[in-house]
Amino acid sequence: MVKRFEDAKAVIVALKSKGISAMAATDSLAKVFLGVGHGWTMRYNDEDESAVKSSQEDQDDMFNWFNKYV
């Protein structure tokens, strides 16, 4: 668990250094999904319950954003 926390912490620090925290006044969202690989939201093992759940959550967030702003 400590390793995963440290990985997430590094990502958050990197996002803040790129000015993501300046976007706090706007309607934005940044999430860290641990234990997933590149392209995971569309290319995942559909027998992996955790991967399916994470992908569905990510896709729901994406569609909600598109419905609100596009």
- Domain coordinates in residue numbering, the chain: 1-32, 34-70
Contacts of residue 33, defined as CB under 8 A and 6 or more positions apart, other chains included, come to 40, 54, 57, 58
Is pLDDT of 25 > 80?
no
13 membership: H or E segment, kind and range:
helix 2-17
Residue 35 pLDDT: 78
Query: With 50 as the cut, is the pLDDT of residue 48 above it?
Result: yes
Q: What is the mean pLDDT of the chain?
A: 74
Distance CA(51)–CA(40), nearest Å, equals 8
When pLDDT is cut at 50, 70 and 90, the band that residue 1 belongs to is very low
Confidence of residue 24 (pLDDT cuts 50, 70, 90): low
Task: Output phi, psi for 67, to 5 deg.
Answer: -65, -30
Q: Does 55 score more than 80 pLDDT?
A: yes
Q: Are 40 and 33 in contact (CB under 8 A)?
A: yes
